[in-house]
Amino acid sequence: MKRGRVLAVLVGGVFCFALMSLYRMLDLMQGAEPRGRGDTPFGQVDEDLSRLQEKIDRLELILKNNNRLVAELRDALFQHKSLETGGGGANDTSDSAHRRAEAAPGCRLAEEMKDGADGVQLLDVYDLLRFDNPDGGAWKQGFEISYHGDEWAEQPLELFLVPHSHNDPGWLKTFDRYYQDQTRHILDNMLVKLGEDSRRKMIWAEISFFSKWWNDIDEQKRAMVKRLLEAGQLELVTGGWVMADEANSHYFAMLDQLMEGHQWMQTHLGVTPSSGWAVDPFGHSPSMTYLLKGAGLSNMVIQRVHYAVKKHFAQQQTLEFQWRQSWDSSSRSDITCHMMPFYSYDVPHTCGPNPAVCCQFDFHRLPGRRVFCPWRIPPQPITEQNVQERALLLLDQYRQKSRLFRSPVLLVPLGDDFRFVESSEWDAQFSNYQKLFDYFDQHPELHIKARFGTLSDYFGALHRRLSTSETTLPTLRGDFFTYADRDDHYWSGYFTSRPFYKRLDRTLESTLRAAEILFSLTLAEMRRFHGDGGLAAGFPAREHFQRLTTGRRSLALFQHHDAVTGTARDPVVVDYGTRMFHAILNLRQVLQSSAHWLTLLDKSQYHHDQSKPFFQMDEVISAQDALPQKTPLTLSDDPRSLVVFNPTEQLRSAVLSVVVDSPDAHVVDAETGRPMAAQISAVWAEPNRVSTEAFQLSFVAELPPLALAVYHVTKAPAGSTPRARYIVHRQGNPPSVRSEHFQVSRLEGSEVDAPLSLSNQHLQIWSSQDTGLLQKLRLRSGLVRQVQVQFLWYGTRTEGFRDKSGAYLFLPGAEGAQLYSSSEPPLVRVTRGPIFSDITSCFRHVTHTVRLFHLEGHAGKSLQMSNMVDIRSEANRELVMRLVSSVASGNRFYSDLNGFQMQQRRTLEKLPLQANFYPMTSSAFLQDAAARLTLLTGQSQGVASLRPGELEVVLDRKLQQDDNRGLGQGVTDNKLTASVYQLLLEDRGGGASEVGGASVEHLSLLAHLASLSLCHPPITMVAPSDSQLPKLGRFLPLSVSLPCDLHLLNLRTLEDPQEAQSPSQEVALLLHRKGFDCSSTPEPLPQCTWSVHEEVNLDDLFSPLRFRSVQRSGFTLLREHDEPASQQQSPRIARLRPMEISAFRVQLD
């Protein structure tokens, strides 16, 4: 009862606060100064009316915000009462009412998911396995398989031989070179050879190649393709632009490449994929299975899984299973998965357990051809004389393989990398296998029905057999990292290889998302403004849509499992980098001209000039392998306009920095004239040399969600802008730094022996005075944790070993990690200012900065960390950043899968060091009962927790040799590479009891918001320095932030089905409701809201945007997955479950 009264008082207090806000707003409106200069009286009246309208809109916004807050408090009160009376909220679990009452509504309690006796939890499997590697005989990594021969008497063996060609869109050659040399010939031959015999089949996966070939062929051949698809002879599997990597790819990009492929298939072929095919990604993630299921697929095949796991699954007959999401208590997300049991997807490792026998049935290796069998027994052409002996030899392999599965339906792939290039290979494979199949048909006593098939054929037969025999497949939760293909060869190196391009990947991703959203909003606003659905004259909507398409396809291509992984040859990496670089430049044009039209107060003044865009970006990228550089702004008494786009769905406080030519500058909000808090900092040309021409101006901006805000920057009187103060220190060798504009001092007296310290209103940090590296953190709550930053080197194995680290493999030397040391101590630079303070440590191979922002609310609660890494001078070394904390985390930590979900990891002593590294796309954390330490990252990297309380990330790798996985080179094309992080220490309160087993955990609300800010920074554009410029105003598409736990994944304009390469009026609206942890609620609460309810009102969420139509659809917006259009016009209620993505086909009004 006591807590209920407190909540009631709180609701009353909020109501009073709302009233006071209204009075204050009215007061501000009366006192506001007109901002125009020298306007005509008529212009003044128009502008006053316009400004009054904006003020009324803002008044509505404040009312709406307060109404929503009161509603959320009512939710909380209702939930509290239901808990007291024994009722449960929407996310009820068997936890104490006391702890539930403390938690934020809608949060997710840590829980252990159980799936009954037949459920498989991969973490438990890893605990169970010995990870030894005994010789299994013919199947070296497995075991001897036996059978009696009568097992198929009642249910004959039903075999599907699935021809395929694995075509990498870039690896040893570039995408275009592979297309010219191999892929186009494969597809040309496919048309001819499948057309010759209706029994022949083939599957194809990579739409990037298929679409390029489609553009090259005539209408007659296109009609043949459609006939083959309709007849079921050709099946497009997965349907992604590429066969995506599943370790480093972010889920935005994974889904985007899937959507690009599926949309292309729908437009040109009218088909939808039903089965996934992922035979080459180096480990597998449940995030991908979730996206495939949401895109309408119901089955999938995987291959690269740790050999010990494959063996265990084969022994248990669990190679086929229902793959379920770790966080899902229902079967909604289940997808049927087939795991290939043997070493590879090539022919020697797919017909059965003995590769020496299976190789004899790869007829591309017949004597006289270019490829041969390493086991030195070549294939024989099938003749009447040998068909019996050959058929029985092959049948034995099929039967042995069949014993590993629960049903008598057998999948046998037939293919390899870039197979079926030559017409003669088609003939050799199809004619010889057909003779074997005919022999089987003529001998029913063998109890086998064998034929060529597709994945749809196989899974259709499998589900029919399972249904008639009432057999169920086990459920499985977890992921298949980290992969090893043999011995202790763990593929954990590629989690970090080519980190420069992994960072560029995420820059392109955030630029693409921002451009998609702003372009969609611009078209909607133009149609509203013109009233007739028309667009602004001169606005290049079609050209911009083509730029968006190219950007989508460049990002999609880089998700390929030899691209973002960093495992392609040097010239191929340059090709990927060049594509991404040009895509970013093109997408910036979309942002610039969209922002230009939206911010013009007088739309009639819009004029598009591609050679001279109205806005320039404040950052320039000069080449595919260059880091972004700030463009210096020339200031004068005339204001320079900065236009800032907030690509996130949250109101955010952000520190924006631009480089100016004056040590004094004044920034005001262009709409209100309100001065913004600012700081001038030095631009360091070298670690101890200050630039005399350039200065960094940083100011605090309050950016509404998805808004364009306008600021004016002018030159200010000397000494009027607060300046940063500096301490520069080097142990034993103090540097001399001169600056006429900044106060630069040294550590003196007792300061020399005391730790360096910085603080803001949320936290305090202490760093070593010798190295500048972080040592300790204290929160305002009083929670203190040791958090030491260290840098270390890993070497690789020495001469005694044949295999060493390379692009794929991490094979560290026996000595393990060695603490970083340099010949002279680092130069340490301490910055103190009113907007931010930081400590920078300049080592030879890395410049490390830890920064505190002096911001209110949640934005100031995390530490920003950044590294500038340069190991180009090194050989066979890997640089690591390690956090050593006093968090008692045991052998467990959590890393994310694709930025979509968290996965518990257990560091196992029975595994070698390299096996305990995992992929980290955006976050990892350690926790104990009292605290959680979260590292959020802006790029993909390998992560490990080798000892309790430790977390380490690999920053860069330079390796001189190939690791014998086909690449044929080391990794030596290192660049000067930036990496960015947020470090967050949080109290764990209410729901923080430890859950046993494979518990499902989530990021905190604060971590989600910090990650959003890190991955989607504000985009700053600069107007020309011209006093005659047209007037600019801000653009506010949303009246309030979306709920804290609701992420706008994308707002993507779809292609016009009637006019190719042009935008339609339909937009893909993709929303992701994040699961967030119950054990820490941020204090003070963020300005966004959240709710226990799963139903949301889309009209309210996106007000004042209006929807003309809303249709829920599949994740890739295929028309056949659209649900019937909602008849109710308003309100539009949609169910958004925690962790789930929801996709809608909408028309914006």
- Judged by average pLDDT, the poorest of 20-29, 148-157, 271-280, 297-306 is 20-29
pLDDT at res. 990: 59
pLDDT at res. 1126: 63
Residues 1018-1037: pLDDT tens digits?
999 999 887 678 999 999 99
Respond yes or no on whether the N-terminal peptide bond of residue 482 is cis (omega within 30° of 0): yes
Q: 1017: pLDDT confidence band, cut at 50, 70 and 90?
A: very high
For residue 73, is pLDDT > 50? Answer: no
Q: 56: pLDDT confidence band, cut at 50, 70 and 90?
A: low
Helix (H) or strand (E) holding 144: none
For residue 44, is pLDDT > 90? Answer: no
User: What is the average per-residue pLDDT within 814-834?
Assistant: 95
Residues 256-281: pLDDT tens digits?
999 999 999 999 999 999 999 999 99
For residue 931, is pLDDT > 70? Answer: yes
Q: Measure Cα distances from 34 to 52, 85, 581 in Å.
A: 11, 57, 44
Q: Measure Cα distances from 357 to 137, 160, 305, 726 in Å.
A: 13, 19, 23, 72
For residue 586, is pLDDT > 70? Answer: yes
> SS3 for 906-946, per residue?
ECCCCCCHHHHCEEECCEEEEECCCEEEEEEECCCEEEECC
Q: Looking at per-residue confidence, does 986 or 80 come out higher?
A: 986
- Judged by average pLDDT, the poorest of 117-121, 558-562, 1127-1131 is 1127-1131
What is the percent of the chain with per-residue pLDDT over 90, rounded to a whole number? 82
Q: Which residues contact residue 99 at a Cβ distance below 8 angstroms, ignoring those fewer than 6 apart?
A: 990, 991, 993, 1078
For residue 4, is pLDDT > 80? Answer: no
| Mean pLDDT of the residues in the chain | 90
For residue 24, is pLDDT > 60? Answer: no
Q: 233: pLDDT confidence band, cut at 50, 70 and 90?
A: very high
- For residue 508 the two structure tokens come to 């392109």
User: What is the average per-residue pLDDT within 91-114?
Assistant: 54
SS3 420: coil
Q: 1089: pLDDT confidence band, cut at 50, 70 and 90?
A: confident
For residue 39, is pLDDT > 60? Answer: no
pLDDT at res. 796: 97
Cα dihedral 424, 427, 428, 433, rounded to 10, equals: 170
Cα dihedral 944, 947, 951, 953, rounded to 10, equals: -40
pLDDT at res. 66: 52
pLDDT at res. 550: 98
For residue 1127, is pLDDT > 90? Answer: no
CA distance 1110 to 889: 46
Strands (E), 1014-1140: 1019-1022, 1046-1055, 1063-1073, 1095-1097, 1107-1113, 1133-1135
Q: 360: pLDDT confidence band, cut at 50, 70 and 90?
A: very high
pLDDT at res. 1059: 94
Helix, strand, coil percent values for the chain (each to nearest 5): 30, 25, 45
User: What is the average per-residue pLDDT within 37-53?
Assistant: 44
Q: 327: pLDDT confidence band, cut at 50, 70 and 90?
A: very high
pLDDT at res. 22: 46
- For residue 821 the two structure tokens come to 């040391």
Q: 12: pLDDT confidence band, cut at 50, 70 and 90?
A: low
Q: 51: pLDDT confidence band, cut at 50, 70 and 90?
A: low
For residue 67, is pLDDT > 80? Answer: no
In this structure, the strands spanning 202-204 and 234-236 are parallel
Q: 112: pLDDT confidence band, cut at 50, 70 and 90?
A: confident
CA distance 736 to 747: 12
Which residues are paired to 655 by β-bridges? 700
pLDDT at res. 93: 27
Q: Measure Cα distances from 625 to 473, 504, 892, 967, 980 in Å.
A: 49, 9, 37, 21, 18
pLDDT at res. 1129: 64
Q: 995: pLDDT confidence band, cut at 50, 70 and 90?
A: low
- State phi, psi for 513 to the nearest 5 degrees: -60, -45
Q: 1087: pLDDT confidence band, cut at 50, 70 and 90?
A: confident
User: What is the average per-residue pLDDT within 661-680?
Assistant: 96
Predicted structure pTM score: 0.91
Q: Measure Cα distances from 970 to 242, 795, 973 in Å.
A: 24, 14, 9
Q: 989: pLDDT confidence band, cut at 50, 70 and 90?
A: confident
DSSP category for residue 334 = -
Residues 448-481: pLDDT tens digits?
999 999 999 999 999 999 999 999 999 999 999 9
For residue 139, is pLDDT > 70? Answer: yes
For residue 49, is pLDDT > 80? Answer: no
Burial of residue 552 (CB within 10 Å: 0-12, 13-18, 19+) is buried
Respond yes or no on whether the N-terminal peptide bond of residue 1131 is cis (omega within 30° of 0): yes
pLDDT at res. 996: 60
The string of DSSP codes covering 67-86 is HHHHHHHHHHHHHHHHHHTT
What is the percent of the chain with per-residue pLDDT over 70, rounded to a whole number? 89
What single letter denotes the amino acid at residue 617?
A: M
For residue 13, is pLDDT > 80? Answer: no
Max intra-chain CA distance, the chain = 104
pLDDT at res. 85: 34
CA distance 889 to 454: 47
Q: 20: pLDDT confidence band, cut at 50, 70 and 90?
A: low
Residues 745-765: pLDDT tens digits?
998 878 888 899 999 999 999
pLDDT at res. 1007: 96
pLDDT at res. 36: 37
For residue 340, is pLDDT > 60? Answer: yes
For residue 531, is pLDDT > 90? Answer: no
Q: Measure Cα distances from 457 to 233, 258, 499, 718 in Å.
A: 10, 23, 41, 78
Q: Measure Cα distances from 996 to 254, 886, 993, 1000, 1001 in Å.
A: 32, 21, 10, 10, 12
User: What is the average per-residue pLDDT within 1071-1079?
Assistant: 93
Q: 709: pLDDT confidence band, cut at 50, 70 and 90?
A: very high
User: What is the average per-residue pLDDT within 627-635?
Assistant: 96
Residues 293-326: pLDDT tens digits?
999 999 999 999 999 999 999 999 999 999 999 9
pLDDT at res. 998: 74
Active-site residue list: 280
pLDDT at res. 104: 75
